[in-house]
Structure 1
Amino acid sequence: MFDGMQRRVVSMWFPRLASDRVLQIRPVDGPFALTLRQTNADRLYCLNPEAERQGLHRGMSFADARAFCPDLQSRPADPLGDERFLRVLRRWATRYCPWVGLEGNDGLVLDITGAAHLFGSEAMMLADMRQRLTRAGLNNRIGLGDTRGAAWALAHFGEGRAEIGQPYAALAELPVAALRLEEKTVIALQRLGLRTIRDLEDAARAPLARRFGPDLMMRLDQALGRQPEQITPLTERPHYGVRMTLPDPVGLFDDVMAGTSRLLDQLCTKLKAQEAGARVLRLTLRRVDQEAHTVELRLAGPLRDATRILPLFERGVGEVDAGYGIDQMRLEATQVESQPMHQVSHMPSGRADQLDDLISRIGTRIGLENVQRFLPADSHIPERSFIIAAAAFSEPGGPWASARPRPLRLFPPEPVTGTGPRPPRHFRWRRMSLSTARATGPERIAPEWWLPDENWHSGIRDYWHVETLQGRRLWLFYTPQHPGWFVQGEFA
């Protein structure tokens, strides 16, 4: 802030940010609302003006809303998309000043101290803001004051501009809810007859502080400028991209790989400074005829070691048609994960790194999703005791533990001849005549009644480990409720 200059703050509020964003893409005539699943029910999340005129409001159940307004059109809400859109607006707002932060999930706060004269005056700056936002189809309300609290109050409850040095005059008649208080505090103050900021300012401070705590007086003092409140600008996310323009076009494989090596060194230096590792890399090679070829590399784990990454580009670069030559190269990490520094041990241990490199090499040929591993699952049902997950996006699970041994091979139950609760002495399985040499069991497994599974509707199963005279070691089970014998697995 400049010495001797009064601080000035702008608050931008977008009361229908979510619905405005969706309607920009697909306009709708008539009442419209976004719905969000909350407390086991679909509720209205954001509405357009037509829906509000029908008596609908946020938090209303979707079923009730349709009963009140049969013509209501709806779509599911996307809070993450709304957050990304608000960050785009934050970047746009830096055209007015460099200090721009987020205000909740539907607003921005700008410290325009010393910047208004660039647009002629404060009034002209606010007019420019409103004009651009309205042209973009965004409902907006803007407040300007000496403090962040005053600007927020004017944007939400009395859109306008407070004169320099006179926040109280602009806020006095606004409701106490304009002080950014909790709803229960607002209701309690109204019951005491304190409905406006003027009423609160004229009341005795000590009894209010004892009853409501220090936050009430802090919010009042922040709005009136008696207590400072910082505006923390949202820092730009680091950009992990490097570019190289070549003085002469190249087309040989070795030359392209040498350029890729130089770009990797620069990119890995950036990643190391941010304690991050790349999961997806994109190499763009622009030819002299302006056509571009892209080589995408997906890694099994976050990585910032150029010497380990470079060989993984060989296959993709080798398939590129250089044409009349490549004159520009660009390397970008499009997906990044945290990779904090760690203590280096004097004992070499590169097995995990070697496995990740192997998965990455195989994944570049067949796709990382197709390199899979088995992981243990918390279930005593044989078919549910494991899950299959992509090795690149999961950690090895374990230890694999079971009170009873489990076969390495499982297959759907196959019926065999046999009667009685004990394993048959002689039975046929897969056109083979087998004789029981030793049987261990039974192990009774009951179905998980809370999960629908047609294969287990028959009830409990008694499992036996059966060793045959022919050398087969099978996993048989017996169903007491519907007498019968089945083979479901084979031990190694």
Structure 2
Amino acid sequence: MSRRIMAVWCPALPIDRWWLCREDSDTRAGEPRDMPVVLAGETAHGPRITAVSPAAWHAGARESMLLADARALAPMLVVHPADPAGDRAFLESLALWAQRWGPWSALDPPDGLIVDVTGVAHLFGGEAALLADVRGCFAARHVSVRAAIAPTAGAAWALSHYGAPDRASLAADSDPMIALRDLPVAGLRLDHAVVVLLERLGLKTIGDLAAIGRPALARRFRDRRAPAANPLVRLDQLCGRAPEPILPVTATPVPLVQRRLTEPVRHRDLLDRVVADLATALARRLEAMGQGARRLELALWKVDGDVLRRPLELAAATRDPAHITRLFAHKLDDCDAGFGIELVRLSAPWAEPMALTQVDLEHAAQAHGTSLSACIDRLVVRLGGGAVAMPVPRASHMPERAQRWVAPDPGLAVQEELAFHTRPLKLLDRAEPIAVIYQAPDGLPRLFRWRGHVHEIARAEGPERIAPEWWREKAGARLRDYYRIEDSTGRRFWIYRRGIAGDGRGGAPEWFLHGLCG
């Protein structure tokens, strides 16, 4: 049986996904799809367009165009940030969903799929009916698509991207080199620089390239080992003379347990008992898999058909039933059971490897709910995810940029700090100006006035000179000289002088108090 490969191309995948996410929002549903929408991503030269809607394309916007240039042509553009990671996750979900048409499927980044349909076309009534079913299913999901079937993945890809709309299948006994000779050389999945080079040489179609002898192509591209940079390799893959490894997408089993209740549950104490039972069952399943849950989802099916979902994200992997039950107890405070709940499901969409470890003091502390990760989980549940954060070091000599706030993660707390220089125990949210008396413009300070009090400096250490970050600051930014000082009463401060007398970047130097030492 000859091999049959189907290539599926979603030419507007980012825009289609953006519309789907927008329609899922109740406040934005029902908006017209004729808005000129563009998705833009940050680059070194400013925001650049990565995807355009049909209305934006007709208004003059194009992919890879700077957003400023596009807005000059079409001021009415609706701009939203691009999300490559979300697009990739959406494509992976489409790859798993596409296995309804074949035994395996693979990704063809950034916007395509490869599906093996060998020996399955007769189940749909032939290849034409199979392709029609593909278009109909994608249209039902509001995703535009072009699909084609050929003996090799390269030939199917070329047909789906550059073939005529009425020609979406290539017979198994046909020669791809002859059947696809009129398609452009870009149909060989070559790098853009190679396509431009071939077109400058007058080789604009696959037939033109095939007419060149193999020795000439081998000499010209003998140093190109990557398939996308070597037309000879791509020609061999197109015709099936060279193997093309394809990595299928496999579904990761999600640990899941559920209980279908004999009688609908309406009372909270009974629901807590069911959740505790499910947490124990899920912990056993996670232990058998050698994993711990990082994200949990509790779904409650009500008698009237409504589904209540309560997600929960954990600071560290766990499979402690008591801890999971305690966290979900807070999530169910606003649960309205209505006429009753008849099905409860608990799943762990995100799980990490978690090996069995020797019981120690930390394990005993975790059993009582006093470990760092358990404390973080309880704070997040009570206060909300946006209200809990932790500082982590960042590679910057500027004190106000030497740390950043991230989502709490106990694993980050054990990392070594950046050992630049000694920093005070407390930094002010914003450096406060002070008045300083010093012996010489570049000498040590003698007195300073802060918040209405005069402090006589008994000891001083410094300066520690910090230059501005030239890639962030303006050209006229001034140097900073930091001093660790102690006044006559024993209090210690961290002050700095911004600028040097006569540096040509402003007036007289300015003094600020930035921190308090222990």
TM-score, with structure 1 as normaliser: 0.76
Whole-angstrom CA distance in 2 between matches of 1:57 and 1:295: 41
| Counterpart code for 2:121 | A
In structure 2, the CA distance between the partners of 1:331 and 1:199, relative to structure 1 (3 Å rule), is: same
| Counterpart code for 2:492 | L
Verify: 1:367 aligned to 2:384, yes or no.
yes
Verify: 1:226 aligned to 2:233, yes or no.
no
Verify: 1:204 aligned to 2:213, yes or no.
yes
Whole-angstrom CA distance in 2 between matches of 1:260 and 1:322: 14
Instruction: Choose the corresponding residue for 2:373, options 356, 364, 380.
Output: 356
Instruction: Choose the corresponding residue for 2:492, options 445, 469, 474.
Output: 474
Greater C-alpha Rg: 1
Verify: 1:328 aligned to 2:336, yes or no.
no
Verify: 1:340 aligned to 2:353, yes or no.
yes
Which digits, 9 at most, give the CA deviation of each residue in 1:8-30, with x for residues without a partner?
Answer: 22222233333455567654548
1:4-43 superposed matches below 5 A: 5-22=1-18, 26-27=31-32, 29=34, 33-43=38-48
Which digits, 9 at most, give the CA deviation of each residue in 1:221-261, with x for residues without a partner?
Answer: 32223344455432224334321112345677665444333
- What number of residue pairs does the alignment pair up? 479
1:96-135 superposed matches below 5 A: 96-131=101-136, 133=138
Alignment correspondent of 2:416:
398
Which digits, 9 at most, give the CA deviation of each residue in 1:149-190, with x for residues without a partner?
Answer: 221122222232222311334223434432223344445555
Which digits, 9 at most, give the CA deviation of each residue in 1:25-74, with x for residues without a partner?
Answer: 6545487654444441444433456766777653344444556x547735
Verify: 1:94 aligned to 2:103, yes or no.
no
Kept after mapping to 2: 8 A contact 1:419/1:484: no
SS of equivalent to 1:391: coil
In structure 2, the CA distance between the partners of 1:111 and 1:372, relative to structure 1 (3 Å rule), is: closer
SS of equivalent to 2:2: coil
Whole-angstrom CA distance in 1 between matches of 2:38 and 2:329: 51
Whole-angstrom CA distance in 1 between matches of 2:455 and 2:318: 54
In structure 2, the CA distance between the partners of 1:243 and 1:365, relative to structure 1 (3 Å rule), is: same
Kept after mapping to 1: 8 A contact 2:372/2:410: no
| Counterpart code for 1:366 | L
TM-score, with structure 2 as normaliser: 0.73
| Counterpart code for 1:180 | R
1:76-475 superposed matches below 5 A: 76=80, 77-131=82-136, 133=138, 138-159=143-164, 160=167, 161-168=169-176, 169-189=178-198, 194-201=203-210, 203-213=212-222, 215=227, 216-229=231-244, 231-248=246-263, 256-271=271-286, 276-285=291-300, 296-316=311-331, 327-333=342-348, 336=350, 339-342=352-355, 344=357, 350=363, 354-392=371-409, 395-396=412-413, 397-399=415-417, 401=419, 403-404=421-422, 406-408=424-426, 410=428, 413=432, 415=434, 420=439, 438-446=458-466, 448=468, 450=470, 460-461=480-481, 463-469=483-489, 472-475=490-493
Which digits, 9 at most, give the CA deviation of each residue in 1:96-120, with x for residues without a partner?
Answer: 3343322222222222222222222
Whole-angstrom CA distance in 1 between matches of 2:460 and 2:267: 67
In structure 2, the CA distance between the partners of 1:324 and 1:85, relative to structure 1 (3 Å rule), is: closer
SS of equivalent to 2:379: helix
SS of equivalent to 1:152: helix
What is the CA-CA distance between 1:281 and the residue it aligns to? 2.5
| Counterpart code for 1:233 | P
Kept after mapping to 2: 8 A contact 1:286/1:328: yes
Whole-angstrom CA distance in 2 between matches of 1:231 and 1:84: 19
% same residue: 34
Structure 1: gaps of 5 or more residues: none
In structure 2, the CA distance between the partners of 1:242 and 1:203, relative to structure 1 (3 Å rule), is: same
SS of equivalent to 2:101: coil
| Counterpart code for 1:236 | A
Whole-angstrom CA distance in 2 between matches of 1:380 and 1:231: 46
Whole-angstrom CA distance in 1 between matches of 2:103 and 2:117: 8
Instruction: Choose the corresponding residue for 2:77, options 73, 76, 83.
Output: 73
What is the CA-CA distance between 1:131 and the residue it aligns to? 4.8
